[in-house]
Amino acid sequence: MADSKIKKEMKNIRILIAEDNELSRDNLAELLRSYGYEVKGVGDGRQAMDVFIDDKYDLVITDLKMPHVDGLHLLKFVKEVNPESIVIMITGYGTVNSAVEAMKLGAFDYITKPLKDDIVKLTIDRALSFAKLKEENITLKDHLKKKYDFGKIIGFSDNMRKVFDNIEKVASSDSTVVIYGESGTGKELVARAIHFNSDRRSFPLVPVNCGAIPEELLESELFGHEKGAFTGAIKSRVGRFELANGGTIFLDEIGDMSPALQVKVLRVIQEKQFERIGGVKTINADVRIICATNQDLEKAVQEKRFREDLFYRINVIPITLPPLRDRKMDVPVLVNHFLQKFNKLKKRNVKGLTPEASNYMKRYSWPGNVRELENLIEMLVVMREDGMIKVDDLPPKILSVGKGKSEVLSVVDIPEDGIEYNGVVDQFEKDLLLKALEKTGGVKNRAAKLLNLNRTTFVEKLKRFNIS
């Protein structure tokens, strides 16, 4: 009775198996299908990451030891993409300690080899029951969550990991921060993450877009004014620095600020004081300052467009956000995030992108960065309504990428500061070898044939890249 109840309550459960031993993988998949679950089996952690991004899985069962990408790395990836997904580890008796370590990193449980049907079934039943209970209680816990946390900033790439590390380090300090990045990279999200993870989080975060407010009005916006200070000042007004007292002021696009205002901001930073326009009363400014810009401020200093003394005052802790074209591996993660967001907001049921559509998304350079991607996904969700997003649903600018040039070159980006040619070529060759091995389940003869290489040459290349 209990089994049938779980099946009924947890219907349509999708399970992903990552196991490099084909026989073990097939046996486990067959067992789980007999319980009524939808099962997908892959032979490598890298392949599992690709599959998990493209589709939704409720539970992942992964071998701890696998070539190329092991179970621990896969666990971290799954938890990054969807923290609610359940992960169960498979391990030998000799690696139980590693499995216990995996549980500390977020795995639900582990099962040891050789797998026993009753133990597998019991472990999965426990995991799914736990998930159901967690789902029932999640609304009760939502109000305890902070409004902003690192989870609002999406990324799995190495350069985004560095950003997360920097946020964590600077949040607890009161140091001035400058966030550098192109338009649409998420500079305000970083500012919010810093503020809401700081000791000032119970006080206001006040944003000011210095590039969007006319120069003649910006001073009043920042510092306020007294009644009669200028034509139209019919009453006194509190400025943004006053509003932010005790908290944080976020000066977005500070590079667009006029030299005259730069002097006044410099004084606030140095003396922690200011006066309203037309006022004589000195107002204390207990405010942390976070700035952002899409400009090269050092170049602006050299060109006399930005004050050198202000630059050195605000550039205490610089954080640089990479453009989306330099973190292409985050595109599928972001797509999945925005699909969930807009499905909920627009009451749609778009399940994802077809592999062909996903490939086009990965090739595109995203000049508008994350904001452009978010807007595109919103449009696609509204227009598609349900099912899968196909190539025909994508706008021409996405589809034009790669036309008239090789498929390989279409996915290679050359940044402004250039690339390491030999390193890129080596990495591409290594990826080809690994991909061929993945497709053949590690059978070297078949992998060599896929690449039109003789076996000897193929094995020599594997040795060169330390691929076992």
Architecture of domain 2-142: 3-Layer(aba) Sandwich (3.40)
Q: Where in the chain is the domain with CATH 1.10.10?
A: 421-464
* pLDDT for residue 154: 83
* pLDDT for residue 113: 85
Dump the DSSP string for 216-256.
HHHHHHHH-B-TTSSTT--S-B--HHHHTTTSEEEEETGGG
Q: At 184, phi and psi to the nearest 5?
A: 90, 5
Task: State the Cα–Cα distance between residues 295 and 149, nearest whole angstrom.
Answer: 26
Residue that has been written with the tokens 């799995």 in this structure: 156
For residue 128, give both structure tokens: 């799914």
Q: How many residues does the chain have?
A: 468
CATH class of 421-464: mainly alpha
Q: Are 335 and 374 in contact (CB under 8 A)?
A: no
The reply to whether CATH 3.40.1170.10 applies to domain 325-411 is no
Burial class of residue 164 (count of CB atoms within 10 Å of its CB; 0-12, 13-18, 19+): middle
* pLDDT for residue 256: 93
Task: State the Cα–Cα distance between residues 157 and 213, nearest whole angstrom.
Answer: 35
Task: State the Cα–Cα distance between residues 62 and 48, nearest whole angstrom.
Answer: 9
Task: State the Cα–Cα distance between residues 466 and 461, nearest whole angstrom.
Answer: 9
Strand partners, 290: 177, 250
**Structure pTM?**
0.57
Task: State the Cα–Cα distance between residues 240 and 290, nearest whole angstrom.
Answer: 13
* pLDDT for residue 399: 87
Alpha helix ranges (H) inside 200-306:
215-223, 240-243, 259-271, 297-302
Q: Where in the chain is the domain with CATH 3.40.50.2300?
A: 2-142
Residue 319 backbone zone (phi > 0: left; psi -120 to 50: alpha; other: beta)? beta
Nearest to 190 by CA among 158, 165, 208, 212: 165
For residue 445, give both structure tokens: 């003869």
CB atoms under 10 Å from CB of 443, counted, come to 13
* pLDDT for residue 417: 63
Task: State the Cα–Cα distance between residues 192 and 12, nearest whole angstrom.
Answer: 38
Task: State the Cα–Cα distance between residues 124 and 246, nearest whole angstrom.
Answer: 50
Topology annotation, domain 151-322: Rossmann fold (3.40.50)
Helix (H) or strand (E) holding 87: strand 86-91
* pLDDT for residue 133: 67
* pLDDT for residue 288: 96
* pLDDT for residue 177: 96
* pLDDT for residue 286: 93
* pLDDT for residue 323: 93
Task: State the Cα–Cα distance between residues 15 and 58, nearest whole angstrom.
Answer: 6
* pLDDT for residue 180: 96
Q: At 418, phi and psi to the nearest 5?
A: 85, 180
Nearest to 270 by CA among 307, 321, 216, 304: 307
Query: pLDDT tens digits, the chain, 468 residues: what are they?
Result: 444 444 445 557 889 999 988 899 999 999 999 888 899 999 888 888 888 887 778 899 999 888 878 888 888 888 888 888 899 988 876 566 777 778 888 888 888 888 888 889 888 888 887 777 666 554 434 433 333 446 578 887 888 888 999 999 999 899 999 999 999 999 999 999 999 999 999 999 999 999 889 888 899 999 988 888 887 778 888 899 999 999 999 999 999 999 999 999 999 999 999 999 998 899 999 999 999 999 999 999 999 999 999 999 999 999 999 999 988 888 988 998 899 999 999 999 998 898 888 888 988 999 999 999 999 999 999 998 888 999 999 999 898 875 544 445 545 556 666 667 777 777 778 878 888 887 887 788 888 888 888 888 888 888 887 886
Question: Letter for the amino acid at 369?
Answer: N
SS3 347: coil
